[in-house]
Each structure stands twice: as C-alpha cells, then as structure tokens.
Structure 1
C-alpha cells in the first residue's frame, strides 16, 4: 500500500485528462476496508439512510456519514482534495470558467457552508444480490467540486460477483461506456459532472460523465464514497 503523497500524481492527472478517471491501487489495506465496512450497521455514525428503490436510483442502499467523520475518512478527504484541487482549477480554466478552488478542503467547505451546503456527503453503499446503481451524478448544490473518489471495501470473487463500476461519457451525441474493475482497497478518482476534452477541430469541449454500478450477481458489496462538496 502506498500513501497518497507517494502516488504518481502526474500519471493520475494524465489518466483523468484522457479518461475522466484514474485508479489508485491499494489505497486502503484489507484491515482498513473491513473496519470501514463494519461501520455500516451502526446508527450513530450517519445522518441519513437512502433506499435506492424508493427514489428510482436502482436497488441497494447507502448511508451518509454525520460530522465528525471517522478519522480515516476525514484524513483521506483532506489529503485527496489537496492533490486534486490544482487539476480541478486547470480544468475550470480550460472550460473557460472563472472559478478557482482554494488549496485546502477546510477553505472549500467554508465556502460550501456559507452557501447553505452544510450536510456531509461521504457515504458507504451496500449492495446485495440483484442490486445495482443507476447512472447518475452526485450534485448537491451550487458549489461542486468536479472530482470524487470511490474505494471498494469488499473483495471481488470472494465477497461478491458482478457489481462492476461503470462510467459513461457523452459529447455531441456520442456516448462511450467504461467498465472499471476494482480490487479490495483500490480507489477510483473520477469526474462528478463534466470534464474538458480536446475539440475535434480546435480548443476544448465539455464531456458529460455519469457513473453507476452493474447488477450484483451474488454476495454483498460495500463501497466508500468520498465526495468533497457538502450538501444542502
């Protein structure tokens, strides 16, 4: 397992530019994954529980953590944000957006909270056989950070089968789908909404991204979602 600081962030940036996502292998070790997944049945860690079928989101459920976040999640959220903010600022410049993100997560969250976005968004998702997550975007208010992270807490082939992470990108009527297999402890950094891509003739164009999870064929699956903007 390599720390966030030891990662090749130039290569991560190139992957995000090219595909809208980047893999961080073995960000968490198996013991950390099991400890986080074991939090799911508890009630004292969370502000709300969402049953996907009730809202047309798919099948399965997830819970949003309450503040204060568990120490490991809080550390991950701060460290990842600090590394991703420069890339997010470059993307905004390439898209012609006059919006810059501060260098620290605390400063960005202060901006969210002033706008009424005060509810924490890190979450754990739980899937069982037959469950899935429809393609979607995690938008919670006017202030949005353009990247987020999913970390697989379960072991494919042992804990579950199926249940692959899926992303689509759409631009000018074309759509591309990506299936992104993850191992236990792997993290995927990916686009929340739109990313810049080279135009067909010149300049940059916007590519809209969505993500979801394919149907679980057996077992159960837990995933940690680390979203950087808070919600209304």
Structure 2
C-alpha cells in the first residue's frame, strides 16, 4: 500500500469519530454521565485492532486481573509510539470531549481548564511525571469479569474515557455487559447496564460528574466494570486521555 493510501486509511479512524452525532452524545453525557456512539469501526477494523493483543512489541505491560483482585481476565497497556490508528482516535475523541470536560469544571467551580488539543494536555501530564501511556486492550474469556473501579493514574485526570467493543456479541461471546454505577449524596447506588455492538464505543465519566439539582450543583461518584462473560472471548479497546505516573 502506498504512503498516501496508508495515511488515508489511518485518517478513516479519526474521520469516523468526527462524523458522530456529537450534539446528541454530549447531551447524553451531561444528562447521564455516559453515552453510546453507535458503530464507529467496521468488523474488519475491529479484528485488526484486537489481533494486536498477541504481539507484545506494541505493549509496555500485561496485567492479570486476578493477581491484583481486579476481577478475572487480563489487559495490556500500549507503549509509545502508539499504533497510529489508536493515536488518531485518541486525539479525535479528546478534541470532541474537551468542551464537556471544561463545562464540568465550570459547574463545579474547578480551576482546571483543559487545552483544546490532546498534545498540549499530554505535555501537561508529562511535565508532572505522568509519562506512561494508558490506552489498553482488554481480553476476557469465559468466567472473566472486571470489578467496579476508576482509572486514576496521577494528579492530572481527564474526566472522561472511552471503551470500544472489538468483539461481536452476536457470535464471539455472551454476557460481559458494561456496568456503570453512580453514588449520589445520601442515596443508594444506581446501576446502568450497557450492551454495545461490535465497533461501538461507550463514553463515560472516569470518577465523578456534576449534576444540577434544585439546590445547586452536586457531584456524583461513578465507577465502571464488566459483568461475567458467560461464553467465548471479548476484546475491548480502552482510550484513557491522561497518562500514568
């Protein structure tokens, strides 16, 4: 494939992100703390991404969840330089989500403002010794699951992240639903169960989100996880926008 053709193919990933209905998605995130995107990636592109899991040259570390009481299953953090398609999607998602992140800072009276471009935010992270890349591939087999958790890696945290389902729930696995919980002040936790299709992303709050109530703005604490996989194998691409210390 020629170099121009390669660039066009890679740009397809970012174009797919930019083409989403961002008015609807941002409204859903503000209202519920998460949103689904509809299909972003075609099956062949999903297959190409989850096939990377077997090549350790792309990754900096492998985590077996059971060893850390995170659940069951495993995941690998990509190393820099990221595969170009993943870097393109990470950059494109950040650019579309930064208005939400800054609005949340305004609502909660926070002093942090996120720059419009992801490279500038990464420079902020790296200046604070958060320099290890955080995009990851997760793999779940039958019986695997992921406990409820938050992905916080240092002082600088972007308040949203993205999970893209790479496997086909109609043929590759069953179970393994995406689970979100929120804890509002003086209330019991509430759960949402999300079942995206292959190539679809779920965008959700990393640790908390603001909610505008009758008495002002209050913070809702959020966690996410994955229910037990009943059969087959499930692959997910995770895009976290802050790097790790």
* 2:153 maps to 1:152: no
Aligned to 2:205: 191
Aligned to 1:180: 194
Aligned to 2:70: 57
> How many aligned residue pairs are there?
231
Among 5, 12, 19, the alignment partner of 1:6 is: 19
8 Å Cα contact 2:30-2:100 kept in structure 1: no
8 Å Cα contact 2:178-2:193 kept in structure 1: yes
TM-score w.r.t. length of structure 1: 0.97
Q: How does 1:34-49 map to 2 (within 5 A)?
A: 34-49=47-62
Q: Distance in 1 between matches of 2:136 and 2:20?
A: 24
1:80-124 deviations in Å (ceiling 9; x for gaps): 101111110000110110110001000000000000000000000
Among 90, 94, 97, the alignment partner of 2:103 is: 90
**Alignment root-mean-square deviation, CA:** 1.1
Note the residue ranges of structure 2 that are not aligned, 5 or more in a row: 1-11
Aligned to 1:71: 84
The alpha carbon displacement at 1:13 in A equals 1.0
Aligned to 2:129: 116
Q: Distance in 2 between matches of 1:228 and 1:63?
A: 16
Q: Distance in 2 between matches of 1:196 and 1:113?
A: 27
Note the residue ranges of structure 1 that are not aligned, 5 or more in a row: none
Aligned to 1:141: 154
The alpha carbon displacement at 1:197 in A equals 0.6
Which is richer in helix? 2
The alpha carbon displacement at 1:79 in A equals 0.5
Q: Distance in 2 between matches of 1:177 and 1:198?
A: 19
Q: Distance in 1 between matches of 2:132 and 2:167?
A: 27
1:128-150 deviations in Å (ceiling 9; x for gaps): 00000000000000000000000
Q: Distance in 2 between matches of 1:5 and 1:160?
A: 29
Q: Distance in 1 between matches of 2:139 and 2:186?
A: 33
Q: Distance in 2 between matches of 1:37 and 1:80?
A: 19
Aligned to 1:31: 44
Aligned to 2:3: none
- Shift >6 Å, 4+ stretches: none
Among 131, 156, 169, the alignment partner of 2:144 is: 131
